[in-house]
């Protein structure tokens, strides 16, 4: 998870989107992609009179800020050699700058907030909060919560997509046109069970498991399930 987190920072620092968006429906917290979020925000800003080149320039500002904040070359090198023996050294070197790097997204987030409706912006904010929460988990006392085992990490990296699909297929209810603000108790229980299923499969990979847990905790807050307490023990 830490390596993937670093890759995200590096990807943002070295790449940008330039495509002209086609018509994109509003995203939902239970079914979205990063590309969809980007295209939707760009489309909505265009409708508000903010042209696509201004939108792209705002994102390029994030890129410039990250490149100025992070030691990109060293970060890339360290992410490749991270292991139990050096995680404290590497985290202490990069975590302060990574926290500063999160702030680079603020101007872009402010622009998006002015373009999309409140319910859609909640998704952007939940992603931003999730990213920050992962950093807090990883970086607290330079990795006190984690034991980075590269072999287990690599295994989880290979299997995590399969785990997500399996747990969703086994537990989630296929209901068309679900509104996240009006989810039923059955829907909430299914989401919680799918989350527990995924955490169980990631049990040997604590960093991944906590990343999944934090994702669930952030996104459940923007659904009607945020106050849901299961009445029966979940498997």
Give me the residue label for tokens 């829907």: 187
Report in angstroms the alpha-carbon separations of 168 from 2, 66, 158, 160, 201.
Answer: 24, 35, 18, 12, 13
Around Cβ 24, how many Cβ atoms within 10 Å? 16
Give me the residue label for tokens 């330079």: 142
pLDDT of residue 49: 95
117 vs 229, which has greater pLDDT?
117
Mean model confidence pLDDT for the chain? 83
pTM above 0.85, yes or no: no
DSSP 53-84: HHHHHHHHHHHHHHHHHS-HHHHHHHHHH--T
Predicted confidence (pLDDT) per residue in 175-227, tens digit = 666 788 888 898 899 999 999 999 999 888 888 888 899 999 999 999 999 88
Give me the residue label for tokens 């934090």: 214
* Confidence check: pLDDT of 10 > 90: no
**Percent of residues, the chain, with pLDDT higher than 90:** 42
* Confidence check: pLDDT of 154 > 90: no
17-26, 40-49, 113-122: range with lowest mean pLDDT: 17-26
**Percent of residues, the chain, with pLDDT higher than 70:** 85
Q: What is the largest CA-CA distance in the chain?
A: 52
Report in angstroms the alpha-carbon separations of 14 from 27, 103, 153, 174, 213.
Answer: 26, 17, 25, 38, 29
Instruction: Provide the residue ranges of all domains of the chain, joining segments of one domain with +.
Output: 28-147, 149-227
154 vs 121, which has greater pLDDT?
121
pLDDT of residue 126: 92
From CA 195, how far away is CA 30, in angstroms rounded? 13
pLDDT of residue 200: 92
From CA 11, how far away is CA 8, in angstroms rounded? 5
Predicted confidence (pLDDT) per residue in 36-86, tens digit = 888 999 999 999 999 999 999 999 999 999 999 999 899 888 888 877 788
32 vs 65, which has greater pLDDT?
65
6-15, 95-104, 198-207: range with lowest mean pLDDT: 6-15
Residue 36 · residue 27 · CB < 8 Å: yes
pLDDT of residue 177: 64
pLDDT of residue 78: 87
* Confidence check: pLDDT of 15 > 90: no
């Amino acid at each position: 998870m830490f390596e993937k987190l670093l890759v995200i920072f590096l990807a943002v620092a070295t790449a940008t989107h330039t495509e002209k968006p086609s018509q994109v429906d509003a995203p939902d917290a239970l079914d979205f992609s990063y590309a969809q979020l980007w295209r939707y925000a760009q489309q909505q800003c265009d409708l508000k009179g903010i042209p696509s080149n201004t939108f792209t320039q705002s994102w390029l500002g994030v890129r410039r800020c990250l490149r100025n904040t992070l030691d990109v070359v060293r970060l890339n090198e360290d992410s490749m050699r991270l292991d139990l023996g050096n995680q404290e050294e590497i985290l202490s070197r990069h975590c302060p700058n990574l926290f500063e790097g999160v702030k680079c997204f603020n101007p872009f987030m402010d622009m998006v907030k002015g373009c999309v409706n409140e319910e859609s912006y909640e998704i952007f904010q939940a992603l931003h909060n999730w990213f920050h929460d992962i950093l807090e988990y990883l970086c607290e006392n330079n990795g006190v919560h984690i034991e980075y085992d590269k072999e287990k990490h690599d295994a989880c990296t290979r299997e995590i997509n399969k785990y997500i699909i399996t747990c969703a297929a086994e537990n989630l209810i296929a209901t068309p046109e679900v509104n996240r603000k009006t989810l039923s108790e059955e829907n909430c229980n299914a989401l919680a069970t799918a989350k527990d299923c995924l955490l169980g499969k990631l049990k040997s990979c604590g960093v991944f498991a906590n990343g999944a847990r934090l994702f669930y905790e952030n996104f459940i807050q923007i659904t009607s399930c945020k106050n849901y307490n299961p009445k029966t023990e979940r498997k």
